[in-house]
Amino acid sequence: MFKQSENSHWHYETNLKQREIITITLCPYRSLGNLGYLYLMIGFIGLIFFLSLFFYSMGAWPVIGFLGIEIGLVWFLFKVNYKSSKNFEQILITKNSTFIKKINWSGAIIDFTIESPWIKASCIKSIGTSDKLFLNYHAEQLEIGEFLPPQEKAHLASALNNCFERMRGAC
């Protein structure tokens, strides 16, 4: 069974046959899609083109090169931003353990295994910085979902705790 949260930042799946595995996938949010990016860049290049014509007509033709550099810089920064959208985290919850896989923008994978039935998710709110979502087990903490919006972290902590309780009850 696949369940979608009210938004597209995370979702979870439950194995209906065995009811022994819950998978939660966390994905970063990007408000500007590919089509929006295309429209934005066309508008930006059009604006720069008309500014270039204006400066050329005033005799300030060297400014055109700097405007071209601005186009390249904006394109580069958007590409870096879109590359960071390849980050994601996957949480696999079973009766006996929880597996966390973090994949960053370059494809590097970091795996964590928590062999504890006492795992608990908590969202720590802080003033001046973004909320933090932790998985607490024994005396340790593991931060997850760093890229999620603050309002999502508390909701996800509640959903994770429900999943942990359901798996404890399946034993």
Same domain, 68 and 44: yes
Identify the pLDDT of residue 130: 78
Same domain, 12 and 68: no
Asked whether the whole model's pTM tops 0.75, one would answer no
SS (H, E, C) the chain: CEEECCCCCEEEEECCCCCCCEEEEECCCCCCCHHHHHHHHHHHHHHHHHHHHHHHHCCCCCHHHHHHHHHHHHHHHHHHHHHHCCCEEEEEECCCCEEEEEECCCCCEEEEEECCCCCEEEEECCCCCCCEEEEEECCEEEEECCCCCHHHHHHHHHHHHHHHHHHHHCC
Same domain, 96 and 139: yes
Domain with 72, as residue range(s), is 34-84
Same domain, 13 and 75: no
Domain count, the chain: 2
Same domain, 93 and 141: yes
Per-residue pLDDT tens over the stretch 105-151: 888 899 999 887 789 999 888 777 778 889 998 888 899 988 888 88
Per-residue pLDDT tens over the stretch 67-87: 999 999 999 998 888 887 778
Question: For position 153, which CATH number holds?
Answer: 2.30.29
Identify the residue with better confidence: 86 or 55: 55
Same domain, 49 and 15: no
